Amino acid sequence: MHFLVTGGAGFIGSHVAEHLLAAGHEVTVFDDLNPFYDPAIKRAALQVLERSGSGRFRFVQGDLVERPALDAVFAGGRIDQVIHLAARAGVRPSLQEPALYQRVNVEGTVNLLEAGRLAGVRKFILASSSSVYGVNAKVPFSEDDPIFRAISPYASSKLACEALGHTYHHVYGLDVVMLRFFTVYGPRQRPDLAIHKFARLIDSGRPVPVFGDGSTARDYTYVDDIVSGVLACTRREFGFGIYNLGESQTVTLSELISLLEQALGRKAVLDRQPLQPGDVPITYADISKARRDLGYDPRTKIAEGIPRFVEWFRRAGG
């Protein structure tokens, strides 16, 4: 089978592409290698995929908002399924550049859906985010919860992508599944994300910014577990489906820092700061639907995952 993985040079995308190649599939990665973080990190991931591909891997550098670039990808050979992981990510950066987030995430997604539809692709797996739940008083978060309280441009863009996915299923009969990821971490994690950033700061003895009193909680999910959920979606039809992919266990910011201190063998220097606009107090996934329909069964608890991450962090030189 031939998969198009957008954002395949990034953190989650490179892991998904690597597993698909290991299973014997063909993979085309589409990524713009933008400078949101050092493109050299993405190029290193592409080298891993190139070595893994045995001639079944192709990389195309392009921008989702440039429709001709996408048309050329689909014209270059039959694509059986699209796994759409490319996006401008992050709550706080989206507050600084809200128009960019809407353009890339929303316009880019509709470009991809339309180009793929016209090329005859029938199945799309699209990345959403736990951010769509906003400040949700009910925990854990269920796919049936109302999601009209987004509190960042990033979350709003992901809500729009979910609506587009449903529209393309309803109008054109495409098989579309939306996956709401909950705070993914692990090897090759983006350097701007909390676990990687905190590890780097703690290891170098620099202050760690702690927003609020440390009680905010996240459902941290190891990347291998996320990949297992994505791959499960490639093996069945949904019509239209929405699934939470999380660990279904919350960890406070203070607990996370403590786990990193233990794994790194160093004490953190804390820099207390006010809570930031757009941040939610908790994310917590109800994964019963994914367990039932996908056989999704996250196995890596945070106490095991953090030392694994630190082992990679040390090996990669921080």
Alpha helices in the chain (DSSP H): 11-22, 39-53, 67-75, 91-96, 98-101, 108-118, 153-172, 194-204, 223-233, 253-264, 288-294, 302-315
Report whether 112 contacts 296 (CB < 8 A): no
Report whether 161 contacts 128 (CB < 8 A): yes
Rg (CA), the chain: 19
Distance between CA 229 and CA 238 in Å, rounded?
14
37 assigned to active site: no
Distance between CA 269 and CA 245 in Å, rounded?
32
Distance between CA 314 and CA 318 in Å, rounded?
6
Report CA 213 to chain centroid distance, whole Å: 27
Considering the candidates 154, 222, 243, 296, report the single residue annotated as catalytic. Answer: 154
Asked if omega into 277 is within 30° of 0 (cis), the reply is: no
Among candidate residues 71, 67, 74, 31, the one with its CA nearest the CA of residue 49: 31
Q: 65: which residues sit within 8 A by CB, 6+ positions away?
A: 103, 104, 107, 108, 111
Report whether 221 contacts 184 (CB < 8 A): yes
Question: What positions carry a catalytic annotation?
Answer: 154
